[in-house]
Each structure stands twice: as C-alpha cells, then as structure tokens.
Amino acid sequence: MNKYSYILQTLPPLSSPNELFPSCALRNSPGKGASVSVEDAIRRLKKNPSQNILFNSLLDYWRSKLPIEATPEHRLSNKPTLAAELIAEFLGTFVLILFGTGVVAMVALFPANNPAATVHGGYTNITLGWGLAVMMGIYVAGKVSGGHLNPAVTLALAVFRGFPWRKVVPYSIAQTAGAFLAAALVYQNYRPAFRQVDPQLEKTAGVFTTFPAFPSWPQAGFLDQVIGTALLLLLVFAITDEFNISPGSNLAPPMIGLVVVAIGMSFGGMHGYPINPARDFGPRLFTALTGFKNNGLTDGPRVWWVPVVAPLLGGLIGAAVYDFGIRQFLRAFQHSS
C-alpha cells in the first residue's frame, strides 16, 4: 500500500474535474457535471506524463479534504507515548546485549584445539561484535525513543539536551531489564557449552559482565571507565550535533558503533570497557541469580559499583567537554552567519 492509498480510499468521487483545477480542466475529461471517480481520474492523469503536476494537485486536493487528525502524516507526527519509548529502549538494549555477550560467549566457550591459536577472532572479534551490537540496537530503538540504550547517555541528555528528567529512571530500568533478559537468553543458548567448559560456573561470569584487571587497584578501573565513557558521550554529542558536521540520522548508528569499537581497542584492558551501567549491571544481576560464582555482586570482590558509577560520571564529563569546548562556538558561528 503506497502512502496515498488511505487518502484515495477514503474520499468520495468528485462531481467534476473542474472542482480539482479551477483554472484548467483534465484533458479528454467528461462534460461539466459528470462524475469522475478516483480511479478514472488517476488513470487519465497517468496516461500523460506531462500531467504529473495535475496528478500531484489531485492528491493534494484530496489530502486537504481529510480531517487533519485522520491523515497518515499527522498520525506519524504524534510523539510516542512513554510506554512505547520504554519498549523501544528495552528491545534496543536487548538486541545490543544479545549480540555483545553472544560474541564473548563464542570466544570464551569454544577454545581452539591449538592453545596458541586465536579463538574465533579473539579480542578483535569482541570489539567488532560490540560495535555492531550498538549499531543494531540504535537502529531498533532510535526512531521511537532516541536509542539511548545506556543510562549514562540518558543522564547526559537530561543534563545537557533537555531530555525530561521524569523519564531518566524509567529509561534506565527498561535498559537494565533488556540487558538482563538478553543475558538470560544467551546463557540458555550456550548452556551446554557453559556446562562443559565451567560445570560449577566459577570462572565464566565474565562472559556477561566486566571485572578489573587489577582488583587491588579499583581506582584504576574507575578511571578507565570515566575516560572511556567520557569519550563515548563526547563523540555521541559530536556525531548527533545539528550544528556540527552531522552524518545524518541513518549514518549515526554505524558511526557510534565505530566509536565503541575504538574505545574497546584503546581502553578495553583495565575493566572490560562496559561504558554502560545497564550493559554491566543487568547481566551481572542475572549471573548472581543464576548461581555464577565470583560474579562481583554477591560473590567475590564487590566490584559491581565501578561500571555503574564511573560511566555516569564519565558521561557527564564528556558531554560537558563537548558542549563547553565545541558546541558553544558552533552555535555562535551559526548565529553570526
């Protein structure tokens, strides 16, 4: 069904072709007062390419006869409800974590026969997989909710872009719930591999969540997450800034995905670069409830707070650096020009 079908099927036949075009009449049209159906008018106009302007005028006329609230354009212009936005954030984060933890499971649970061999692409695959996961998640949710998929993004948008504060907590809960469910599905899919590689679930919680490389130096992991998430928000703001060199809405998701790839390659060693509280806490909560040992929440060193607090702080720092270091000058330039 094309975009005009609703209009063409809703309006009654016209009493005269001259009702459409006061200053001109359709070529070979019936006499004044004859009835012209929608189908006849469209057929006649399409026979002669030179009359495309008349065809467009016909469609515009019929659109004008519809009540404004009944037009497809009006329906599409209505803002989504909060429930729709939360569902979008849930599903977008679900897709993100499904691909992200899935690629880690592929690398961690299927060791190569040769111990020296790179397993399924190794860390390179993990960084690429997470970047693609972010891109896919944004494509899923972007049009409805903005595709935050990350409480650090939501918080930064509330502070610097006027995102409603009343939505910050619901968005964060939806994102965390999506991450939790995605982790559960990945575990169920790879359950035989988990039972073979780690029957007691003592050493594979890292498939789902992140841990510090130096547990005795928690401040090192904290700093790493502040830097990583600051870079993420600085670049997200740069990519989506209407005053900057914007790649367009269709290209923003892959660009942001590449940002995540770059952060993983450059800042992934100290704490696994979660750079997203929902991405880390949702799956970590799943590991705790499922009985994984050394999960960082209920067993082993309690490191769960680092990838929750540090990204929130880092996101605000990165957003502030961009706004005060770049955006204010872009806006001033736009106003002056």
pLDDT digits (tens, 9 = 90+) for 77-115: 578 999 999 999 999 999 999 999 999 999 999 876 666
Q: Would you state the pLDDT for residue 40?
A: 63
Q: Would you state the pLDDT for residue 39?
A: 59
**What 3-state DSSP class applies to 203?**
coil
Look at residues 181, 158, 171, 183 and name the one whose alpha carbon lies nearest to residue 84. 171
Q: Would you state the pLDDT for residue 4?
A: 46
Higher pLDDT, 336 or 325: 325
Dihedrals phi, psi of 20, to nearest 5 degrees:
-80, -45
Pairwise CA distance, residues 207 & 102, whole Å = 8
* Global pTM value: 0.77
Q: Would you state the pLDDT for residue 248?
A: 77
The pLDDT tens digits of the residues spanning 194-206 come to 999 999 999 999 9
Pairwise CA distance, residues 133 & 260, whole Å = 10
The pLDDT tens digits of the residues spanning 37-92 come to 555 655 655 555 455 555 565 556 555 555 554 455 445 457 899 999 999 999 99
Question: Considering the chain, what percentage of its residues have pLDDT values greater than 90?
Answer: 67
Sort 23 into a burial class: Cβ within 10 Å, 0-12 / 13-18 / 19+.
Answer: exposed
Pairwise CA distance, residues 322 & 259, whole Å = 15
Q: Residue with structure tokens 């399409």?
A: 46
Q: Would you state the pLDDT for residue 32?
A: 46
Pairwise CA distance, residues 108 & 187, whole Å = 13
Taking a C-beta distance cutoff of 8 angstroms, is the pair 295, 280 a contact? no
Look at residues 162, 142, 155 and name the one whose alpha carbon lies nearest to residue 93. 142
Confidence of residue 28 (pLDDT cuts 50, 70, 90): very low
Q: Buried b / exposed e across 67-101, counting CB within 10 Å, b at 16+?
A: eeeebeeeeeeeeeeeeebbbbbbbbbbbbbbbbb
Pairwise CA distance, residues 313 & 9, whole Å = 54
DSSP letter for 36, please: B
CA 21 to chain centre: 46
Average pLDDT over residues 258-287: 97
The four Cα atoms 16, 22, 26, 28 give a dihedral, to 10 degrees, of 70
Q: Would you state the pLDDT for residue 60?
A: 61
CA 184 to chain centre: 21
